[in-house]
Each structure stands twice: as structure tokens, then as C-alpha cells.
């Protein structure tokens, strides 16, 4: 859990109250975007460097382009989500890890995923429920460990993020003195 001690919130609140509500929102949104851009940029660089050095040599083009920042309009306070959405959906698997399910159909797996020979079936008639069927398909397979890249990008840059937000707010407030 991350905890920040922010000094001067009362002064900031008073300074923002001088402006109409739409200008207040604009100031906060711009400053949050400035802080989020640091995380997004660092995460893209982390993806490029981390996954190019692995033996699998993952192609990271879509993942890097898919790291985006979105404003969460449903939140009660200004919130921006940084992550992978449509284009780089597989980035979530790389971040948290996954269990390979192997090829489809009746095939013998020998060297795939470093397993011993194993007969795999995709016919659901062998199992009573989807959960049983999935468990049969994953027998003998081990979860691939995740290689976190998004959370460390935030943790390494947390002080730079706070500084960027403060600088952006300061710039905005000084513009309209």
C-alpha cells in the first residue's frame, strides 16, 4: 500500500476555488495526466527491455502501443486508469502469469511446455462440467510465472509522479493569477 503525506492541501483547495468548476476539473485532469504519462512511458520502456531479453523474445509492439491512460468517468473523484485495454490485452497475462492450455483437438504433446507425452482431448463428453473439463486439460501443466511491468513502473516513479502533478497544478494556477 502506498501512503503520501501531502502538505498544503488547504492552500491548494483555496487556490482552485477561485476558478469556476469546469476550470477546476481541467486543472486537476491535466495534472493527473502529467503524472500518469510518467507511469505510461516507464511501463512501455519496461516492456521493451524486459521481454526482449527473455528466451521466448516476445514481440511487444502491440503491447507497448496498447498501454494507455483513460479517464474513469464513473468515479466520484478524478481518476485515470493506466493499463492495457483492447490492443495489448495479453499484457495482463504477462503481468500476472498464466496456465498454458495447449493445442486444440486430439494431439500428443511431447516437447510443448517441457511436458512428458500426454494425450489431450478437447471433447467435453469426458467431463461433467466445464470446470472438470478445464481441469483435465490442465493436468500436468504448471502456471507460468508473471513478469510484472506495470506495478513496478508506478512504484519506482511515485515521487516523480507527485512532483509532476504538483508542477502541472502550479503552472496552471500561475497562468491564471
**pLDDT tens-digit map of 119-177:** 545 555 566 777 777 777 667 667 778 888 888 888 999 999 989 988 998 898 888 77
How far apart are alpha carbons 4 and 158 in whole angstroms? 9
Grid cell locating 4: 503520501
Per-residue model confidence as pLDDT tens digits over 62-77: 888 888 888 888 877 7
Which has the higher per-residue pLDDT, 3 or 74? Answer: 74
Grid cell locating 46: 519496461
> What one-character DSSP code corresponds to residue 98?
E
Name the band, by pLDDT with cuts 50, 70 and 90, for residue 1: very low
User: Model-level pTM?
Assistant: 0.66
Q: Contact at 8 Å (CB) between 39 and 157?
A: yes
Classify residue 57 as exposed, middle or buried by CB count within 10 Å of its CB (0-12, 13-18, 19+): exposed
Residue 81 phi/psi, 5-degree rounding, is -100, 130
Classify residue 143 as exposed, middle or buried by CB count within 10 Å of its CB (0-12, 13-18, 19+): exposed
How far apart are alpha carbons 112 and 110 in whole angstroms? 6
Amino acid at each position: 500500500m502506498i501512503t503520501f503525506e501531502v502538505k498544503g492541501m488547504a492552500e491548494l483547495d483555496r487556490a482552485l476555488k477561485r476558478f469556476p468548476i469546469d476550470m477546476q476539473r481541467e486543472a486537476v485532469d491535466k495534472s493527473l495526466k502529467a503524472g500518469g504519462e510518467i507511469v505510461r512511458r516507464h511501463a512501455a520502456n519496461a516492456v521493451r527491455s524486459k521481454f526482449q531479453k527473455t528466451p521466448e523474445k516476445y514481440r511487444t509492439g502491440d503491447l507497448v502501443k496498447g498501454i494507455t491512460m483513460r479517464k474513469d468517468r464513473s468515479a466520484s473523484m478524478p481518476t485515470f486508469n493506466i493499463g492495457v485495454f483492447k490492443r495489448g490485452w495479453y499484457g495482463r497475462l504477462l503481468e500476472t502469469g498464466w496456465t498454458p492450455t495447449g493445442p486444440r483437438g486430439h494431439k500428443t504433446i511431447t516437447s510443448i511446455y517441457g511436458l512428458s507425452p500426454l494425450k489431450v482431448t478437447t471433447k467435453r463428453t469426458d467431463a461433467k462440467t466445464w470446470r472438470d473439463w478445464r481441469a483435465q486439460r490442465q493436468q500436468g501443466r504448471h502456471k507460468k510465472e508473471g513478469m510484472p511491468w506495470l506495478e513496478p513502473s508506478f512504484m519506482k516513479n511515485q515521487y516523480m509522479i507527485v512532483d509532476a502533478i504538483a508542477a502541472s497544478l502550479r503552472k496552471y494556477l500561475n497562468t491564471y493569477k
